[in-house]
Amino acid sequence: MSNTIQDEKEQQQQQIEYSAEAVDYDTVVSSLAAQDRVPWYKKPNLRKLYLLFIGSVLCVETTSGYDASVTNGLQSVPLWNSYFHNPTGTILGLIGSMYALGAILSVPFVPHIADRFGRKFTTQLGCLVICIGACLQTASQNRGMFMASRAIIGIGITPAIVGASNLISELAHPKERARLGSLFNAFFFTGSSLAAIITIATFRMKSHWAWRIPSVFQILPALVTLTFIQLIPESPRWLISKNRDSDALAILVKYHAEGDEHSEFARAEFSQIKQTLALEKELAKQSWGALIATRGNRRRALIAAFLGLATQWSGNGLISYYLSPILVNVGITDSLTKQAINLSITLWGAMTAFTIAFFSTRFPRRKVYLTCTISILTVFVIWTAASARYSATGSKSWSGLVIALIFIYQPCYNMAFNALSYAYLPELFPYQIRTRGASVFQWFSRAALFLNTFVNPIGMKNAGWKYLCSYCVFIAFEIVFIFFLFPETHGKTIEELAFLYEGDTHHEQARRVQNHKDDADRVLEEEHA
């Protein structure tokens, strides 16, 4: 009996000490995570998980980068142009925009698939569709078949990205979650660099394999993902939502606590997820209507829609898809020179994206976004002026300045729109509507990409340098939007941000999580029974 009383006193003392350290619910898991001084690469299980991320979920965004760069590169391949009857203006815009159109069509179905069948299945399904589209693109016999194949690739990219990005945010340790989300978008440049290298290696071939080889390699990232995703676990948040508590806790214990079943952190994280999901389920159902049901969700959806537009309408679409016409407008017409510049820009983009991804998440999100948009606007204003001067004088110095500004643009854009988008989105949305929030982002991103890829060649052909002014106006609007509407989310877990705009709900949330040990202990007892 005396031992039992002593044990109870020790437990009470531990709870008091824990409460003193954690201060309040808002910092329960993040405070415990901050106390962990052991880096991820010294934790065998977590290190293995993150290395498997490279070949599985991180590799998904490689497909997007590959598509953008291969579309760009093929425009400088003479045999591709002749085979498809030298597309320009509207026709070239349609060819470029079919990928985005396919992505738009699949958006309404993705949340239902991801929430019912899981994040892994959704990613696998998307990659299988991408493989089918890439095979058809390689075998294209006419312009219509080529455009249809690009639409099929687009249909596959949305479920692949939504599933993979959510797996990253829901599987990663809280200490590395934001950085891994940042790295996800950086892998765009591994795809664009790969496509640029393959295109420059084949464009002088005398057969139509000059453009078919770059097309067939589009299947590669999807095949890599399908292979390695088998080796990573499902999202513990999805498992808890399906009442598979023991499976979820086992994953958290294995990867976030290196197998220590008595880990305070793993049990606190498990309970935080479980109780937060339960409260979310009471407040909002998994439906599209939930996005507009409350003032907080409407604001979340507005920011997701804005981010989707901003990631495509900040000038990056010009460089990613239509670099060739831009170079022609400043007097560069040689195919080899255009291919070399395309390759240089993609490699530079990869270097800056990966470097920035390791540092940008250390800073407050809102400040990084503001710095990004202000620097982009500065670059575009000078770019527009330099293009105007080249048009008036034909001077090579102005042409060189335009090319230099394209290189300067890359780190400015990557600072936030590349590095933070997939880290920031999971922080904004609670689990119950997280896939729908990601789908809103994808829909507006692909809609903006569709309009971009369709309108850009027409605008550049008809308006020349004056077309750049439209981007200057929209980027200026971005600065105003971010300044007034972006919340700060830096330094907290995604559960601690679940009720970002619902202040009154925090009290109920905190009450439920106070006895966080009990839930985890019960699950462990049932598992060992």
Q: How confident is the model at residue 340 (pLDDT cuts 50, 70, 90)?
A: confident
pLDDT at 496: 79
| Locus of tokens 């022609």 | 328
Model pLDDT, residue 458: 77
Instruction: Give the percent of the chain with pLDDT over 90.
Output: 47
Candidates 150, 109, 111; CA nearest to 130 is 150
User: For the segment 358-416, what is each residue's pLDDT rounded down to a tens digit?
Assistant: 888 889 999 999 999 999 999 999 999 998 898 888 888 998 999 999 999 999 999 99
410-453 pLDDT, tens per residue? Answer: 999 999 999 998 889 989 998 888 989 999 999 999 898 888 87
Tell me the pTM. 0.80
Q: pLDDT tens for residues 206-249?
A: 888 988 999 999 999 999 999 999 999 999 999 999 999 999 99
Average pLDDT, the chain: 85
**Half-sphere exposure at residue 452, Cβ-oriented, CA atoms within 13 angstroms:** 26
Give residue-wise pLDDT tens across range 64-86. 888 877 877 787 788 888 888 88
Give the gyration radius of the chain's Cα atoms: 25
Higher pLDDT, 57 or 513: 57
> At 116, is the pLDDT very low, low, confident or very high (cuts 50, 70, 90)?
very high
Task: Looking at mean pLDDT, say which of 17-21, 305-309, 334-338 comes out highest.
Answer: 305-309
Of 87 and 321, the one with more pLDDT: 87
Q: Does residue 321 sit in helix, strand or coil?
A: helix
**Structure-derived torsion over alpha carbons of residues 337, 339, 344, 349, reported in degrees to the nearest 10:** 140
Q: Residues 268-314: pLDDT tens digits?
A: 899 888 888 888 777 666 677 888 888 889 999 999 999 999 998 99
Rounded Cα distance, 449 and 99, in Å: 9
Residue 126: predicted pLDDT: 97
Neighbour-count burial of 363, counting CB atoms closer than 10 A to its CB (0-12 exposed, 13-18 middle, 19+ buried): middle
CA 503 from chain center: how many Å?
A: 28
Cα separation, 431 vs 498, in Å, equals 8
Would you say residue 173 has pLDDT above 70?
A: yes
Dist CA 32 CA 257 (whole Å) = 12
Instruction: State pLDDT tens for residues 477-512.
Output: 999 999 999 999 988 878 778 777 876 665 666 666
Q: Given this model, what pLDDT does residue 19 score? A: 37
- How confident is residue 456, by pLDDT bands cut at 50, 70 and 90? confident
Residue 515 C-beta-side C-alpha neighbours within 13 Å: 5
| Stronger pLDDT, 260 or 34, i.e. the higher one | 260
Q: Amino acid identity, residue 461?
A: K
